[in-house]
Amino acid sequence: MTIIRGRMTVQPSESFVLFLIGMRFNQPWKIHKWWPVVTAMPKMLTELAQTEDSGYLSGEAWYGRTTMMLQYWASFDALEAYAKNKQQAHFPAWVKFNQTIGKHGDIGIWHETYEIQPNRMECIYVNMPLFGLGRANTLVAAQSEFGGARKRFFQE
């Protein structure tokens, strides 16, 4: 993993979607319940990486009792199209989850979706490898007009 030295930021020119998704092990000992859910996401990510025009830009993941994946998408329409496409990995996994887990409470699933407007967000990466929005967009030096959080947030 290459460290990019110095202060870097991103200044997207178009809106994008921030999608947070995860699961919670409410009954961690019920491996037979959560294992199919855990193994479904890597299949989806592989599929998205191999589909150039999916609208999926990048993502990061954290694991624990509550897992979380942060994803960047080109648009809500692209995210929704993937979620509803019966020929791709998400839709059958979602149907299976509802049939086998449903309302039993052994596993919790959650997601949040936000549309981010250009010039109404800011980010900073100091001595970091490509990460987060910096992986999904082009990094620029965080100097002069991009030097402070307020300047990055309200850049016109």
Tokens describing residue 45: 């990510």
The CATH number linked to 130 is: 3.30.70.100
Number of domains into which the chain is organized? 1
- At which residue do the structure tokens 């080109």 appear? 74
Query: Rounded distance, CA 153 to CA 113, Å?
Result: 20
pLDDT at residue 156, as a whole number:
58
Residue 144, sorted as left (phi over 0), alpha (psi -120 to 50) or beta, turns out to be left
Q: Is the pLDDT reported for residue 52 higher than 90?
A: no
Q: Range of 113's domain?
A: 1-156
Q: For 11-24, how does the pLDDT look when each residue is reduced to its tens digit (9 = 90+)?
A: 888 999 999 999 99
Q: For 88-138, how does the pLDDT look when each residue is reduced to its tens digit (9 = 90+)?
A: 999 999 998 888 887 788 999 999 999 999 888 889 999 999 999 999 999
